[in-house]
Amino acid sequence: MTYQSQIIEAGTAIGTEPNWNGIEPESVARMRLQNRFRTGLDIARYTAKIMRQDMAAYDADPANYTQSLGCWHGFIGQQKMISIKKHFGSTKGRYLYLSGWMVAALRSEFGPLPDQSMHEKTSVPALVEELYTFLKQADARELGMMFRDLDKARDAGDAMEGKRIETAIDNYETHVVPIIADIDAGFGNAEATYLLAKKFIEAGACCLQIENQVSDEKQCGHQDGKVTVPHEDFIAKIRAIRYAFMEMGVDDGLIVARTDSLGAGLTKQIAFTRAAGDIGDQYNSFLDCEEVEAGNVGHGEVLISRDGKLMKPRRLPSNLYQFRPGTGEDRCVLDCIHALKNGADLLWIETEKPHIGQIGGMVNRIREVMPNAKLVYNNSPSFNWTLNFRQQVFDAWEQEGRDMSAYDRAKLMSIDYDGTDLAAEADERIRTFQKDAAREAGIFHHLITLPTYHTAALSTDNLAKEYFGEQGMLGYVKGVQRQEIRQGIACVKHQNMAGSDIGDDHKEYFAGEAALKAGGEHNTMNQFAA
């Protein structure tokens, strides 16, 4: 609907009410355009279509991959999208990611927590809602500036400029983009997962990521002690999420099935099996077992039958069962194939390092069964990217027969190597990792969870060092404010960013000439106009 048609529609509604004095159709049209998404479900339906379109574009050409960045606060997500629009002109292919880790570390009412599903169940959907509140406000702010420019053009009698601005309003691109939200391991049984999924969807999430760890023993993907669940348990939760999407009318909502099997050596339970070779039997086949004689069974031991033999799975004092070493990759592949066969849309394989060869090898095996399999991937700050890629280059060059005597593989992180050819090659591989991984390893989304956590810490450290040191106020002025001005950071006008001008617009709608506005000549924001 165009700007003018919005005005006409509002005028028609107002015209039927003879006592609605002072309600202006154009003001109503402006407010409606500034609030395009009235509910979280509107957002979920809109963004789900975007993701589906992007998936199809990737299938046609892997160069069409998308990127995501994790944001732990609404303001951070808002500034990210404003920055993307400023630098690249469009938000296309740029998503938000929201992990339980960030909520646990920064947003829990209990204070900072580890990534062990210890944070409040509703914290992540609450942050989804917060992020979209800030993104919608970014829309309202930017459109408000366009409306004021339109008024200026009209006041100046510049009809051509007015028409140009109206066209820009009609073609306005929203800051609202898909959020891929982490539901961890589902927080309990499948019913609990279903109820929580509805909270996510109501908040606006079109894509939910769930992992195959046991809920009450869930660990961070980059820590030890991970415990997986049998496939049927995991599939029940995938179904629960799908039912939640369909109940809420978001039929094309997306599910990311994450497997932690590569680093998980434990399971909480032995899978139920009906027949040899079924999915439960395949899961159990990876258990670390030893054959026992029927007359040599210890007290309280658990036994299973395998190929006509009586086997005793290795059980730890924690009452967890152990998988055979070296089976992680096979378990990952089986997890992924079974998840895709049972309603998942995208995959996530949690790895211990960013290695395209390792990731691509597993994806190729999955695609032998599921040709359109697409992987999302955690470009995690938990990896030491510098060290990992320097080691990868070292190993590649060594295999090529190069003389590597100038390098000590165990010390490649040393600053002494920063200016070497090896370091330069490693940095180039890091730079092209996303493009290369999309082409060679089936990666569609690049899910990056923690950089904004680290950038907040780094920038605060730099400010504290300067402001509380010899630089004093110059530490802020030179290191922050002047940089904002030079780089055109919109937040330098923080009152405007917080919605002051939007409030002034509304005051004028509500009170006309009697409106007491905050944006007059004495507003300090005017100092940043030049």
Active-site residue numbers? 220
Cβ atoms of 80 and 104 within 8 Å: the answer is: no
Question: Residue 307: left (phi > 0), alpha (psi -120 to 50), or beta?
Answer: left
Cβ atoms of 128 and 107 within 8 Å: the answer is: no
What's 374's DSSP letter? -
Residues 6 or more apart whose Cβ sits within 8 Å of residue 470: none
Residues 6 or more apart whose Cβ sits within 8 Å of residue 14: 20, 23, 25, 28
Question: In which residue are the tokens 């904002």 written?
Answer: 484
Distance separating alpha carbons of residues 288 and 331, to the nearest angstrom:
13
Q: b/e per residue, 394-403, with b = 16+ CB within 10 A? A: beebeeeeee
Distance separating alpha carbons of residues 496 and 518, to the nearest angstrom:
10
Cβ atoms of 405 and 474 within 8 Å: the answer is: no
Beta bridge partners of 181: 98, 208
Report the side by side order of strands in the sheet with 227-228: 227-228, 266-267, 321-322
* Residue 356: C-alpha distances to residues 327, 353, 395, 404 (Å): 20, 9, 14, 23
Distance separating alpha carbons of residues 213 and 500, to the nearest angstrom:
46
Q: Where do runs of H (alpha helix) occur along 381-450?
A: 385-399, 421-431, 433-440
* Helix, strand, coil percentages in the chain from 3-state DSSP, rounded to 5: 50, 10, 35
- Record the tokens describing residue 322, joined without a space: 């152990």
Determine the 3-state secondary structure of 227 from DSSP: strand
Angle, helices 25-33/500-511, rounded to nearest 10 degrees: 150
Beta bridge partners of 257: 210, 347
Question: In which residue are the tokens 């956590």 written?
Answer: 453
Q: What is the DSSP annotation of 461-493?
A: HHHHHHHTTTTTHHHHIIIIIHHHHHHT-GGGS
Cβ atoms of 479 and 462 within 8 Å: the answer is: yes
E strand or H helix that includes residue 332: helix 328-341
